[in-house]
Structure 1
Amino acid sequence: MNTAPSDARSPQLGGEVWNVPGCRIVSLGHYQPARVLTNRDLEGMVETSDEWIRSRVGIETRRIAAPDETVDAMAAHAAEKALAGSGLIAADIDLVVVASCTALDRSPNMAARVAARLGLGAPAVLDINVACSGFAHALAVADHAIRAGSATHAIVIGADKLSAFTDWTDRTTCVLVGDGAGAAVVSAAPAAGIGPVTWGSVPEQSDVVRIEATPGSASPGRFSQEGQTVYRWATTRLPEITRRVCERAGLTPEDLAAVVFHQANLRIIEPLARKLGAVNAVVAKDVVESGNTSAASIPLALSKLVERGEVEPGAPILLFGFGGGLAYAGVIIRCP
């Protein structure tokens, strides 16, 4: 197993040094359900149109999980693909972190179920619920654990089944959602391939995106949001925060080879990329074909970009999640 020595001096992404072991993403994987739900399909379900959906959110299609297709099953499919590309075996993985806001059960958690599905040895298993920014939070937790010496190889997953929490008669929300999972294998390394995380929240507006159950009801709750509030916050506040992510990694927006924002809405992603000033970057737009997949959206879009060869190995990529709870987290990685 490749473990960096505890006194290694690893170059930060922009050339500075950390007096800690490094950490990097070594491989990626993703999974989407077989069923494709198009805008034309939705026209027969609610009062909407293909033109209305495209003009407001930019989505054309989305994938919807089967009723018996669980969050942990999707997560395990993505993780299995990432593990296969890592050169590691199941016994090497000593930490599993799953980001999700749509787990139905309190216990066991999704990470434990994924570990069992993959036949892992005895990893630490953690679930993180920060909704749409969950993967960036989970990646930071794994990075911290590895650089602190508490783990050597981790699988980090974002997986959500928003369709199970969707009111399919509400045209403002049902046109947005999709299901899927994305995963990364993260390992100790002599050089830092994951930069410092910048994260935070706006607690007083934590309920503008929510899945809330009604006390006494058998329903698990329904996804709802105050879309205009989220749009204004994302397009006005987040450009400054994303620039701060670059500064902490010793880079400028012009240095970025790619930008992967949470795939919430094309009308948020495109202005945010322009205001950031990432003029040389490929901007992930997986939302067009996958919809909003919550915690899965960043690793899903990232895995597709890398699989298609759109970013050179070693190039800097900004990952930035935002949304549910009005929480956010951003980090710059080196492309595996």
Structure 2
Amino acid sequence: MPGSRITALGHFQPTRVLTNDDLAAMVDTSDEWIRRRTGIATRHIAGDAESVTDLAAEAAAKALATAGLAPSDIGLVTVATCTAIDRLPSTAAQVAGRLGIPNAVTYDLNNGCAGFCTALACADHTVRAGAARHALVIGAEKMSHITDWSDRSTCVLLGDGAGAAVISATEGDEEGAIGPVVWGSDPTRSHAVRLVDEWHPKFAQEGQAVFRWVTGELPHVAREACAKAGIAPGDLDGVVTHQANLRIIEALVRQIGLSESAVIARDVVNSGNTSAASVPMALAKLVERREIAPGGRVLLFGFGSGLSWAGQVVTCP
């Protein structure tokens, strides 16, 4: 069976930037309060006319162009999202239509903030099984659509954006560059991150419970993903976790056992929490800025609603 590798990345964010001072004019908060509790300074917010499909298609088009592939080369398109309004056709089908991808399998996947890493694993398995030679994996969210702008504990967190990766089969004796996934869920705690109000769904979470779960129970899962990939945590070139908030990220990575030179993604500072879009968007930016060189080994690790998690070590293009 062939292996698979990430051959290209792309990202996209709306042009509107919402600052902490902007939020302070909307709810009882301040720049100092937000930075101290979350580390977030700004977030990008989509316009009313911008859809999840719009965000996803922009990021996917960049990844496809960087990969140098024709649309007809893509055999699978999957979009990880929890905020797409359209049920039929899927966001993935709409993206394929916009990019002129003619015959790919298309589907959306909802695993909340762990969505991209989950979708990446599914695409990896598809390519390894020979069912597609090239796959397009996208994480895209319009979190502003489900934000309760009167709730200062959550509205300061959320932003919009998309990230995409092209996955391709390895050639000849080339080793696979996407490591085995470690994934799972604890549905007994699914109430901790949820949507409330059936008619006008809004994001809600039990922040302290999520913080304790991530920092207390997930470090060993991250280390297990490294072990399955045959790499020690100290040999990683970087880590891209779900960009939940800076306090969670830093508390988690301190326990993994990284070297001092490892690059830690902190895109949450400028982008906020973008759920399934956060991992691919942060990874694409690190690669674009050459903060992680081609061939660098990076742990991707998503976690969130469900409560679910998914992670794998990948080699950067």
Instruction: Please classify the TM superposition score into its range, dividing by the shorter chain length.
Output: over 0.9
Whole-angstrom CA distance in 1 between matches of 2:99 and 2:264: 32
Which amino acid is 1:195 matched to? G
In the alignment, does 2:182 pair up with 1:201?
A: no
Report Cα offsets for 1:133-178 as digits up to 9, x if no partner.
Answer: 1000000000000000100000000000010001101100000000
Structure 1, gaps ≥5 residues long? 1-19
Which amino acid is 2:213 matched to? W
Report Cα offsets for 1:276-317 as digits up to 9, x if no partner.
Answer: 011231000000000000000000000000000011111110
Q: Percent identity?
A: 59
Whole-angstrom CA distance in 2 between matches of 1:196 and 1:123: 24
Task: Specify the alignment match of 1:234 in structure 2.
Answer: 214
Task: Specify the alignment match of 2:256 in structure 1.
Answer: 276
Whole-angstrom CA distance in 1 between matches of 2:10 and 2:144: 22
Structure 2, gaps ≥5 residues long? none
Task: Specify the alignment match of 1:161 in structure 2.
Answer: 142
State the secondary structure of the residue aligned to 1:207.
Answer: helix
In the alignment, does 2:154 pair up with 1:173?
A: yes
Which amino acid is 1:234 matched to? V
State the secondary structure of the residue aligned to 2:138.
Answer: strand
Whole-angstrom CA distance in 2 between matches of 1:289 and 1:162: 15
Q: TM-score, structure 2 length as denominator?
A: 0.98
State the secondary structure of the residue aligned to 1:26.
Answer: strand
Shift of 1:213: 4.2
The 5 A counterparts of 1:185-264 are 185-189=166-170, 190-214=174-198, 217=199, 219=200, 221-264=201-244
Which amino acid is 2:57 matched to? A
Report Cα offsets for 1:186-222 as digits up to 9, x if no partner.
Answer: 00013201000000011100121012442xx3x2x00
- Aligned counterpart for 1:86 among listed residues 57, 67, 74: 67
Task: Specify the alignment match of 1:3 in structure 2.
Answer: none
Whole-angstrom CA distance in 1 between matches of 2:84 and 2:66: 27
State the secondary structure of the residue aligned to 2:306.
Answer: helix
- Aligned counterpart for 1:289 among listed residues 270, 275, 296: 270
State the secondary structure of the residue aligned to 2:309.
Answer: strand
Report Cα offsets for 1:51-98 as digits up to 9, x if no partner.
Answer: 000000000000000011000110000000000000111110110010
State the secondary structure of the residue aligned to 1:117.
Answer: helix
Task: Specify the alignment match of 1:318 in structure 2.
Answer: 299
Q: TM-score, structure 1 length as denominator?
A: 0.92
In the alignment, does 2:27 pair up with 1:46?
A: yes
Between the two proteins, the alignment pairs up a number of residues equal to 313
Task: Specify the alignment match of 2:310 in structure 1.
Answer: 329
